[in-house]
Amino acid sequence: MTDYRPPLKDIEFVLTHVADLPSLATFEAFPYADPEFVVGALGEAGRFAAEVIAPLNEVGDDEHSTLADGSVTTPTGFREAYAAFRASGWPAVAFPEEVGGGAMPGVVATAVNELVTTANMAFSLCPMLTYGTVELLLTHGSDDQKARYLEKLVSAEWTGTMVLTEADAGSDVGALTTKAVPQDDGTYRITGNKIFITWGDHDLADNIVHMVLARTPDAPPGTKGISCFIVPKFLVNDDGTLGEENHVETVSLESKLGIHASPTAVLAFDESVGELIGEVNQGMRYMFLMMNNARLQVGLQGVAVAERAYQAAVEYALERKQGRAVGAPKTEKSPIVEHPDVRRMLLLMRAQIEAARCLVFKTAEAIDVSHHHPDEAERTRAAERLAILTPVSKSWPTDMSVEVTSLGIQVLGGMGYIEESGMPQHFRDARITPIYEGTNGIQAADLVARKLPIRGGDAVREMLEEMAGVADRLAAVEDLAPIGAALHDAVGALTEASLGLGKMLMEDPNDALAGATPYQDMFGLTAGGWLLGLSALAAHEGLGGDDDEFLADKIATAQFFAGQVLPRVRGLLPPALAGAGGLFAIPVDRL
């Protein structure tokens, strides 16, 4: 398996020119976010990820996490790596100082998370869910709950989980049946079985703090009757020390296609002690904070695993000699990187990874601005942008990761199909990302049914106008004009789709939902072109110094995306507006 090389310069470029870290550093909430300091810190994070975490990626895939006698054992080296990760302080980087955090912008944490996730996706899932647990408690926990749980969660001494899914409910969370019975002491007794609990049990930390959705007696049906509870693996005493076990049994671990080192647990709660978070029947609203955090992080996983596959593909293409490239001496074999179709595949990988990285980081920036910008109007605008971009940032990068990791296998040819190359693991790991934290079809329905109508469609319209403005700026620069033309065409097609689906939504929602996935793909591709356009403008302005080769490559990548990828947008317009008739033309009994 290819060693991981952290793409630090690419990440720094996106932080500076797309996610606007220099502006975030002026916010009162981020006193330590000096860009120069951040770049230095990321260099250390990259070294740690490459040297400590990345070597365990193949180990975890081979060994899996295992369950025996009620206890879960993680693969060789994971406990030591997690202890080093915890000691490094990286888990706390974006949390407030008052709870032991580093007070950095979330977009900086996103950069750290990319490094860790690319090094070892299965490993990264454990801290990812802990971050969401912290956010949920910071926002909705009581003072007592914060005092007892936050310090240990922020420091990663304890880990957190998100416990939603049940066998008969699946993505229909409103159908869950787990019970929460109130007790005289103010606690609840939680009883029920939950499935697909990522890092639901393990041996990395002293305690696991489960965020559990359940129903109290007489709760209304559906999502309106769901409450959220803290259910720790071990009870926590008033002084923060650990008490007795809390009747949370790990029934089994799922045998999965990929992310083998990540223990995906079936958990049984048997009158386990739970603490209500916030108010009864508000659990779904609270949990959306954790779910939306996870959705962005899953989008980042798409970028990360695709990056790992790209690096391996490039290394192989440079070394593998086969055939003779056009113009090469007749007596010599050429590295396959010299063949046009291999170069096409590599650039498809590279351009889409860079576009998706920009999209995820831009969405993370919107979180920071929506919470901390000093101007209320800017906070509101950023919150709307975040709402629109969250489903897109979850779906498009993850669909991209499946395509890119498959291309990675193709670049290696027959060797790519062999496990020892490492490529099959990347493909298998990537395949879960369009599924969990809300399938990409669910994200598409959310985008069309809930996000497109925000402010009567004006929020999306304003984003499209901003994209068109970038296209105008590109068109004004001779070398970048083709990028501007391609972006203009994509924005025009996306605008037409937005208007058409908005009308369908009012007349027949089924027609709108039938076009939701093509529309979401259009949005992701166009957003990628928009942000690569910004990158190209920044790179062009920076030419004339020591980084000219790097900047020229940024422009070339944006040009390739504009010429080879953005044209897909207009091709998706007909299916986006086709309506539901064709989908239901064949009766169910003849499918």
Tens digit of each residue's pLDDT (9 = 90 or more) over 294-304? 999 999 999 99
Q: What are phi and psi of 211, to 5 degrees?
A: -100, 105
- 370 vs 382: CA distance, rounded Å: 5
Count Cα neighbours of 298 within 13 Å in the Cβ-side half-sphere.
31
Shared-domain flag, residues 30 and 149: yes
For residue 118, give the CATH number of its domain.
1.10.540.10
Domain boundary, last residue among 259, 281, 303 = 281
Shared-domain flag, residues 271 and 150: no
Domain boundary, last residue among 128, 154, 180 = 154
- Domain presence at residue 230: yes
- 148 vs 275: CA distance, rounded Å: 12
Q: Which one, of 367, 358, 297, 293, lies nearest residue 19 by Cα?
A: 358
Which residues sit opposite 179 in a β-bridge? 191, 215
Which residues sit opposite 210 in a β-bridge? 161, 231
Cα dihedral 424/425/430/435 (nearest 10): 100
The C-alpha R_g of the chain, in whole angstroms, comes to: 24
- 144 vs 572: CA distance, rounded Å: 52
Shared-domain flag, residues 542 and 471: yes
Contact 19/362 with Cβ under 8 angstroms? yes
Contact 306/401 with Cβ under 8 angstroms? yes
SS (H, E, C) 269-295: EEEEEEEECCCCCCHHHHHHHHHHHHH
pLDDT at residue 401, rounded to an integer: 98
Tokens 């009747």 belong to residue: 247
Domain boundary, last residue among 108, 134, 154 = 154
When divided into structural domains, the chain yields a total of 3
- What amino acid is encoded at 443 in this protein? Q
Kindly give the interhelix angle for 516-542 and 340-372, rounded to the nearest 10 degrees: 90
Helical (H) or strand (E) element with 107 = helix 106-119
- Domain presence at residue 116: yes
pLDDT at residue 174, rounded to an integer: 76
Shared-domain flag, residues 168 and 121: no
Chain center to CA of 97: 25
- Domain presence at residue 569: yes
* Exposure string for 389-426, b = 16+ CB within 10 A, e = fewer: bbbbbbbbbbbbbbebbbbbbebbeeebeeeebbbbbb
Shared-domain flag, residues 15 and 144: yes
Contact 412/426 with Cβ under 8 angstroms? no
Chain center to CA of 451: 19
| 459: containing domain | 444-579
> What's the distance, Cα to Cα, between the start and end of the chain in Å?
43
Catalytic residues: 437
pLDDT at residue 472, rounded to an integer: 98
**Residues in the chain, pLDDT under 50:** none
Contact 178/190 with Cβ under 8 angstroms? yes
- 430 vs 307: CA distance, rounded Å: 11
Shared-domain flag, residues 511 and 546: yes
pTM over 0.85: yes
Q: Which two tokens stand for residue 271?
A: 């009158």
Tell how strand 264-276 and strand 248-253 pair up.
Answer: antiparallel
Shared-domain flag, residues 188 and 130: no
Shared-domain flag, residues 56 and 74: yes
- Domain presence at residue 187: yes
For residue 209, give the CATH number of its domain.
2.40.110.20
pLDDT at residue 1, rounded to an integer: 67
- 341 vs 500: CA distance, rounded Å: 37
- Domain presence at residue 515: yes
Helix (H, G, I), strand (E, B) or coil at 413: helix
- Domain presence at residue 180: yes
Shared-domain flag, residues 87 and 168: no
DSSP secondary structure code for residue 328 in this structure:
S
CA distances from 115 to 75, 78, 96, 370 (A): 20, 17, 22, 25
- 487 vs 566: CA distance, rounded Å: 7
Residues 6+ apart with CB under 8 A from 393: 295, 296, 299, 359, 360, 363
Shared-domain flag, residues 206 and 128: no
Contact 30/103 with Cβ under 8 angstroms? yes
pLDDT at residue 77, rounded to an integer: 98
Shared-domain flag, residues 149 and 56: yes
Contact 27/372 with Cβ under 8 angstroms? yes
- Domain presence at residue 141: yes
Shared-domain flag, residues 12 and 150: yes
- Domain presence at residue 220: yes
- 471 vs 344: CA distance, rounded Å: 25
pLDDT at residue 466, rounded to an integer: 98
Helix (H, G, I), strand (E, B) or coil at 248: strand
